[in-house]
Amino acid sequence: MFQSIQLLKKDLNKSVKIFPGHSYGSAPGIELESVLKTNIYMQIDNEETFVKFRMRTNQKDFIEFH
């Protein structure tokens, strides 16, 4: 997941529209530039940090971040 996100960040034009498989309140078709600013997983650039955050045990709900 981390490597895939890093490739997207590196290779895609920031104006590419993203249509995620899951939408938590936002309409699909958001430009990558906005996703980079609002999606926590897109903001983590260190693989170890990413894995620790992704696997944290204090998650109450899969869309709730702590």
> Which domain covers residue 50, as residue numbers?
2-14+28-54
pLDDT score of 60: 66
**In the chain, what percentage of residues exceed pLDDT 90?**
59
pLDDT score of 34: 92
Q: How many domains are there within the chain?
A: 1
- Write a three-state SS string for 12-36: CCCCCEECCCCCCCCCCCEEHHHHH
CB 54 within 8 A of CB 5: no
pLDDT score of 66: 47
pLDDT score of 57: 84
Name the average pLDDT for the chain.
Answer: 86
**Domain presence at residue 6:** yes
**Domain presence at residue 22:** no
Cα 66 to its chain centre, rounded Å, is 15
**Domain presence at residue 44:** yes
Cα distance between residue 37 and residue 35, in whole Å: 5
- Kindly report, residue by residue over 36-66, the tens digit of the pLDDT: 998 899 999 999 999 999 998 876 665 555 4
